[in-house]
Amino acid sequence: MNTATIQYLESYLTPRRQQLFKEVLAERTRFLTVAIEDVGHLHNTSAVMRSCDAFGVQDVHVIEELKGKRIDREIAMGAQKWTTVHRYDSTKNALDQLKQNGYRIVATTPHHTAHKLEDFKLNQPTALFFGSEKDGLTETVIEAADDYVYIPTFGFTQSLNISVCAAILLQELTQRMRNSALDWDLKESDILEIKELWLKRNLKDYDALLNQYKTQE
């Protein structure tokens, strides 16, 4: 969709919503992304999506190889209203796509020689992989990973819930990213793509307005 079409559709938003789009997009990133591998509890998937939105991470990659397509109900509830969800039926497909797009694959796991979060270096586009609550990440991810990271714990509990782990990592890494010289912000083509997505989800008469604009061209 071109800039003129986007501007036409944006004119049907309130000035406040237009300004909010502008402010949020200025902090949005695709430098960091998150991949969720066969997470069993839907509320955790929803919580990770909300954390991505809260910390400005646009893309969420959901792998549904073992448990099938189970996030539809969560999506219907609006958990991914502001994020772009990419769905895969195999872990290998997700890994191949992310590597092709230039991402370093980072497995979040306390069970592998890894960097503590405080020692982890963020210096290139990174995809953080999170595994299921019970079994963690599969060997497919562990073997394909370029790096590993974990959050040190100091109590009797040795592991954190996936959604808590994601929130901690995203808060720390996005803060570092924004305070760095890294080229983390969105390109103009990304901004147009995301605006189109948000307009579809915010304008009740989106299709009618789009058709109306096309007839005026």
Mean pLDDT by runs of 10 across the 217 residues of the chain is 93 95 97 87 82 95 71 53 91 96 93 83 96 84 94 80 92 97 96 95 91 84
* Single-letter amino acid, residue 181: A
Q: Long-range contact list for 15-22, CB < 8 A, 24+ apart?
A: 17/202, 21/195, 21/198
Q: Which two tokens stand for residue 65?
A: 């190889």
Dihedral over Cα of 37, 38, 40, 43: its sign: positive
pTM: 0.90
What residue segments make up the domains of the chain, in order of their start?
A: 29-184, 186-217
The annotation status of 151 as a binding-site residue, yes or no, is yes
State CA 174 to chain mean position distance: 12
The annotation status of 138 as a binding-site residue, yes or no, is no
The annotation status of 105 as a binding-site residue, yes or no, is no
The answer to whether 83 and 53 are in contact (CB under 8 A) is yes
pLDDT value of residue 70:
55
pLDDT value of residue 76:
38
Q: Which CATH class is domain 29-184?
A: alpha beta
pLDDT value of residue 155:
85
CA distance 166 to 160: 9
Could you tell me which residues come within 8 angstroms of residue 84 by beta carbon, excluding any fewer than 6 positions away? 58, 59, 60, 194, 197
